[in-house]
Amino acid sequence: MEVIILDNKIDIGLAIAKEIIKDIKNNPKLNLGLATGSSPLPLYKSLIELSKLENISFKDITTFNLDEYCGLSNDNKESYHYFMNENLFKYLDFSKDSHYFPSIDNVNNYDEIINNHGGIDIQILGIGANGHIAFNEPNTPISSVTHITNLANKTILDNSRFFSNIDEVPTQAITMGLSTILKAKKIYLIATGKNKAEAISIMLKGKYIKECPASALNLKKDNVYIYLDKDAASLISK
């Protein structure tokens, strides 16, 4: 695991985008695991800009999203289908039907779909203030595969900023499991802001702690890159 501390979220997004572009040049058919929320937005913006600048094609790239809310239609403005289209997909030359999301219909074979495509080459992650990655809440089994989960009260409260009121926030989601995520060949986790500092400090203790799902990344020794701004890194002990 490598920890990289940069000044701000813009610098983080640009740095990771450059790495992804390098990998796409080496493998134009790679499988890209995607996250939603505010953390990856600067990355997606930089990825769009660099791809156009360097004339990088995404027509042979396949994407797999980490999660999706239960109960929202794909065209709902708070769904992750809508989020990905508005913030990444529509700006690049992805092929039709190249995007996969976990759903009620495929929850039992989403991992199989990923495996049949050769596995995820690059996985983007954020982290919740309670240490969740994707929607794997505290105490999710390390062996978990894609599943339906009840969202923690803390997650519902944190995500309510995207909705008109907290009562509109779905209470369940379909998410890749921890074992699914750990199978990715390369992982980039992004954390910015002081509200993520405590979770980051626990995650970086170097061991798996079930109350902090992100600490499962300690079990994957190589090709895990943690990108932090100074606020998110503020509680890391020297």
Give yes or no: 67 in active site: yes
* 90 contact partners, CB below 8 Å, separation of at least 6: none
Question: Which of 81, 99, 132, 147 is an active site residue?
Answer: 132
Q: Closest Cα to residue 137, out of 156, 109, 113?
A: 156
Angle at 23 between CA 177 and CA 216, to 5 degrees: 25
Q: Closest Cα partner for 9 from 215, 199, 196?
A: 196
- The residue behind tokens 């929850």 is 107
Catalytic entry in 31, 65, 67, 121 = 67
**Residues in a beta bridge with 225:** 2, 188
Is 231 considered catalytic here? no
CA angle centred on 191, ends 109 and 189, rounded to 5°: 40
Is 2 a residue of the active site?
A: no
Sheet containing 67-69, strands listed edge to edge, beginning at the edge strand earlier in sequence: 67-69, 172-175, 147-150
Q: CA-to-CA distance for 81 and 205, rounded, in angstroms?
A: 34
Which one of 130, 147, 159, 229 is the catalytic residue? Answer: 130
Catalytic annotation on 130?
A: yes
For residue 152, the 8-state DSSP code is: P
Residues 6+ apart with CB under 8 A from 157: 166
- Given the residues 68, 111, 121, 137, the one annotated as active site: 137
Please list, residue by residue across 165-202, b when 16 or more beta carbons sit within 10 angstroms of its beta carbon and e when fewer do: eeeebbeebbbbbbbbbbbbbbbbbbbbeeebbbbbbb
Active site residues: 67, 130, 132, 137
